[in-house]
Structure 1
Amino acid sequence: MPQYITDKTQLKCDKGASPAPLTVTSQSFMSIEGKLQATEEDKQPNTNIKPFGFCSVLRSSCSPSPIKWDNTSDFEIEGKKELLDCSTCQCSVGGKISVVKSAQNFVEE
C-alpha cells in the first residue's frame, strides 16, 4: 500500500549519481511524525529538489529540472495533491525522479 512521504525523504534521479533529500515548502501544517507532508507543489529545483550529483544526460553536474509529479494521492492539502512513495517526477533534461527511502519509520503489521 502506498505511503505518504514527508520532508527529508530521499529522492533519486535515474540519470543522477547520488540521492538527495526532498525539502517540503508547499505547506506548513500537515505533518507525520513531526515532518511536513509533501505535495505535488514540492518540485522547485534547488529549493525542494537538490542536485543529484553527476548527470549522465548532461555529462556534468546534475541540476534538477522537475516538470510534474505523477502517481500522486487522491487526497489534497489546500488543493495540492499529496505525494506518495510511488510518486515520480519527470525531469525536463530526461531523467525520472523517484523515492529511494521515506523519512518515516513505517511499522509493518
Structure 2
Amino acid sequence: MPRWVIHDAVTACTFGASPSRLAVLPHRRATHLRRPVATILDHQPLVNILPFGACTSPANPQVAAATAAAAGVLTPQPCLPATMTPWTPGSPGRAVMQEVALQDRCTCQCLWGGTVNIVDAGQATQHVP
C-alpha cells in the first residue's frame, strides 16, 4: 500500500552516488508525525530535491566534459539536481492544501536522465503483536 511522503524522506537517483533527503518547506502544509507532508510540486532543485553526491550521467554536461578530458573514462562530478517537472503520478483525489499529495511510488525525472524515487517515505512503521 502506498505511503504518504513527509519531510526528510530518503530519496535516490539512478545516476546519483548516494541517497539524499527530501526537504518539504513548512509553509501552508498539513503535517504527519509533526513533519510537513509532501506534494507533487515539491520537486525544486536544491530546495526540495537535494544533491545525490556525485552524478554519473553522461548526459550531464559537467560529467561529459570531465569524461572527455579523461580520454573517455567516466568521471563523475558533483550532483546538481535538475528536476524541472513535478513528481508523477501523484495521488489523484488526495490533496494537501489543494495540491496533489506525494506517495512513495512516485518518481521525478532529472534533466540529465536520472529517475529520482522515494526509498523511504519518512514514516516509522509500528508492528502490533
TM-score by length of structure 1 reads: 0.91
Structure 2: unaligned runs, 5 residues or longer: 58-62, 64-75
Post-superposition, which runs of at least 4 consecutive aligned residues in structure 1 deviate over 4 A?
none
**1:15 partnered with 2:34:** no
Amino acid at match of 2:81: P
1:89 and 1:96 in contact (8 A); partners too: yes
Structure 1: unaligned runs, 5 residues or longer: none
Report 1:87-106 matches (<5 A). 87-106=106-125
Report SS of the residue matched to 1:69. coil
Identify the structure with the greater helix proportion. Answer: 2
Q: CA RMSD in A?
A: 1.6
Quote the residue 2:54 is aligned against.
Answer: 54
Report 1:1-109 matches (<5 A). 1-25=1-25, 27-57=27-57, 58=63, 59-66=76-83, 67-74=85-92, 75-107=94-126
1:26 and 1:42 in contact (8 A); partners too: no
Aligned residues: 109
> Closer, same or farther in 2 for the Cα pair 1:80/1:27, shift >3 Å?
farther
Quote the residue 2:73 is aligned against.
Answer: none
Q: Which structure has the bigger radius of gyration?
A: 2
